[in-house]
Amino acid sequence: MQGSPYQAIIATGATPVSVRIPSDTSNFCIAGICGLFNGQILIADNYNKSLKLLDLQNKAVVTFCDMPDHPRNMCLITPCQVAVAVQSGIQFVSVNSGQLVKGRRLQLPHNCRGVAHHQGDLYVTSGTALYKYTLTGTLVDKIYEDISISDAVYKCAVSPSGDIIYVTNCNNKLLTLARDGAVISTFTDTELQRPSEVHVTPAGQVLVCGYLSNTVIQVDSEGKKKIATLAAKKDGLQSSRSVFYNWKSGSVLVGQSDKNILLFNLK
């Protein structure tokens, strides 16, 4: 595991990993990637309305489950349970004996674009606002709102300490918010066009996907400056939609639209 939020993550090369299964009716749109504590990887395939369990060692999907709507994002709740943002709600899914089992679903009174979890709190983005809920679906607070464009509050991630919340704004911005929603900083960069996902590693490193710029960049924990460009179009990246730092294997997975996942080994 990388030790400091300011330590650059450096990729050495990309290996394509297919997540196609026979029942797929469309190309992929990998809207979310999440690692379980046993080393397996969960993939949210938006276009095919499914959640897929990936054995990374064998680079194969071992099982899947259909979702009630197009999954847009997901986060880990327990070592074997995730929360999946699906249009107007949050669907909980558990991994039991190698199978994906759908549990309860929270119906929320707004769209659900992104979801993050920290110590029993669910952070949910609607496209125009960031909300905090309990795990049972009780609204705690509307933390932040921006109605200037339809996806001004798109995806979110929380720092390991829970003090900082990162929000992607599809108008080419990454917002860094305090716990109360106050804007700490607004980050823009030519290598971050239409940011589609933000992910925080266990050490606090911040990774952001640029969907139109075909990039994954690393930003400092205050959201003020770029530390490194982890992957770009020259590495085979196209339409990056999701990113996950897999500390168990020392690699980074990047989900794309209409293409395989890319697995980057790290120096």
From residue 205, alpha-carbon distances to 148, 159, 244, 252 in Å are: 29, 9, 11, 12
CA 1 to chain centre: 19
* Token code pair at residue 85: 């943002």
Q: Which strand ranges, in their side-by-side order, compose the sheet holding 173-178?
A: 156-158, 164-169, 173-178, 183-187
pLDDT at residue 137 greater than cutoff 90? yes
Dump pLDDT digits (tens) for 4-15: 899 999 998 899
The rounded percent of the chain whose pLDDT value lies above 90 is: 86
Q: In this predicted structure, what is the pLDDT of residue 87?
A: 87
To the nearest whole percent, how much of the chain has pLDDT over 70? Answer: 99
Query: What is the mean pLDDT of the segment spanning 208-219?
Result: 97
Please determine, for residue 2, whether its predicted confidence score (pLDDT) is greater than 90: no
In whole angstroms, give the CA distance from residue 115 to residue 23. 27
Segments making up each domain of the chain, as ranges: 24-204
Q: Which CATH number fits domain 24-204: 2.30.30.220, 3.40.50.970, 3.30.559.10, 2.120.10.30?
A: 2.120.10.30
Q: How confident is the model at residue 248 (pLDDT cuts 50, 70, 90)?
A: confident
The per-residue pLDDT for 112 is 97
Q: What is the DSSP letter of 61?
A: E
- Is residue 77 pLDDT above 50, yes or no? yes
Give the helix ranges, DSSP H, for 94-150.
none
Question: What predicted TM-score, i.e. pTM, was given to this entire model?
Answer: 0.96
Q: What is the dihedral of CA 230, 231, 232, 236, to 10 degrees?
A: 170
* Dist CA 223 CA 103 (whole Å): 35
Query: For 106-118, what is the mean pLDDT?
Result: 97
pLDDT digits (tens, 9 = 90+) for 168-187: 999 999 999 999 999 999 99
Query: Residue 67: what residue type?
Result: M
User: Quick one: which of 26, 104, 45 has its CA closest to 242?
Assistant: 45
- Does 43 score more than 60 pLDDT? yes
pLDDT for residue 1: 47
Bridge partner residues of 14 (DSSP): 264
In the predicted model, is pLDDT for residue 223 greater than 70?
yes
Q: What span, in angstroms and rounded, lies between the C-alpha atoms of 102 and 236?
A: 34
Tokens linked to 212: 């139109």
Rounded Cα–Cα distance for residues 159 and 166 (Å): 8
CA-based nearest residue to 100, from 76, 82, 87: 82
User: Is the pLDDT at 139 greater than 60, yes or no?
Assistant: yes
Q: What is the pLDDT of residue 259?
A: 84
Mean pLDDT over all residues of the chain?
95
- Mean pLDDT, residues 135-142 taken together: 97
Structure-token pair, residue 153:
């509050």
Among 59-63, 207-211, 234-238, the range with the most confident prediction by mean pLDDT is: 207-211
Q: What is the pLDDT of residue 177?
A: 98
In the predicted structure, residue 65 carries a pLDDT above the cut 70: yes
Sign of CA dihedral 160, 34, 196, 188: positive
Cβ–Cβ < 8 Å for 100, 92: no
